[in-house]
């Protein structure tokens, strides 16, 4: 197995991030510092990151968390803010799958399976994610809804078509198949209805369900298999 893939399976980081760790000279195989992510390893010689030996667990885990407002979607925060990882006590080293900005609440996944995380976040897979947005100056007129659905020109390029419903005046449910920074907020602002409150209510086949803010649960093997598909 290639070294970068080994680190991803061990839950150290996504494969791309693991390649960065290797390039920085932070990974050793036995006593040797290895800078080639394609180096073959089989676990017979200890692999370490920053002198800490890592291994591939026999079974990896995925948690669903209802992220509260003000919590950041990183493993560590340089400003001392609370992180999603701190809300899921586990013996394993967990990483969030993608990000929600600090003001956005709702469903986020945490896992020690770097390969699965990379699959879920890769743009080519277009994993759908649904957000419920309460917006200003509702109800949103049909013209604005059509613009959201067909795609908008943002400063980082046009958005893909989105599924957009308005279950009640001033509340939108928006399903995206891409994941740009603050995308829902920027889309709504572009049609003249800034977001007042934003929550992610589904990720792929998974729904937030009855999880309360700050609560988490371990996904079943069936749910993880659904995510992989």
What are the catalytic residues?
A: 101
Report the relative pairing of strands 95-96 and 157-158 from DSSP bridges.
unpaired
The residue to which tokens 């510092």 are assigned: 33
Question: What residues pair up with 94 in beta bridges, in sequence order?
Answer: none
Token representation of residue 40? 């073959």
Cβ neighbors of 22 (< 8 A, separation 6 or more) are 3, 4, 7, 34, 35, 36, 37
Report the relative pairing of strands 195-203 and 52-54 from DSSP bridges.
unpaired
Which of 200, 196, 219, 203 lies closest to 106 in space, CA to CA?
A: 200
User: How far is the CA of 78 from the CAs of 17, 72, 74, 75, 89, in angstroms?
Assistant: 19, 11, 10, 10, 20
């Amino acid at each position: 197995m290639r070294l970068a893939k080994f680190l991803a399976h061990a839950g150290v980081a996504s494969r791309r991030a693991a390649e960065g760790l290797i390039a920085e000279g932070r990974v050793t195989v036995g006593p040797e510092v290895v800078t080639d992510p394609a180096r073959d390893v089989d676990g017979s010689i200890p692999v370490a990151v920053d002198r800490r030996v890592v291994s591939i667990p026999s079974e990896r885990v995925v948690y669903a968390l209802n992220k509260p407002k003000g919590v950041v979607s990183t493993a560590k925060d340089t400003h001392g803010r609370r992180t999603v990882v701190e809300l899921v006590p586990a013996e394993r080293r967990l990483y969030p799958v993608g990000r929600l900005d600090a003001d956005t609440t709702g469903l986020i996944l945490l896992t020690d399976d770097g390969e699965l995380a990379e699959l879920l976040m890769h743009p080519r897979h277009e994993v759908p994610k649904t957000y419920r947005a309460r917006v200003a100056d509702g109800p949103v007129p049909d013209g604005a809804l059509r613009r959201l659905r067909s795609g908008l020109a943002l400063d980082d390029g046009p958005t893909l078509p989105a599924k957009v419903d308005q279950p009640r005046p001033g509340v939108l449910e928006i399903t995206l198949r891409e994941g740009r920074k603050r995308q829902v907020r920027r889309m709504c602002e572009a049609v003249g209805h800034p977001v007042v409150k934003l929550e992610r209510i589904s990720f792929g086949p998974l729904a937030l369900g009855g999880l309360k803010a700050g609560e988490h649960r371990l996904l079943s093997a069936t749910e993880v298999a659904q995510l992989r598909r």
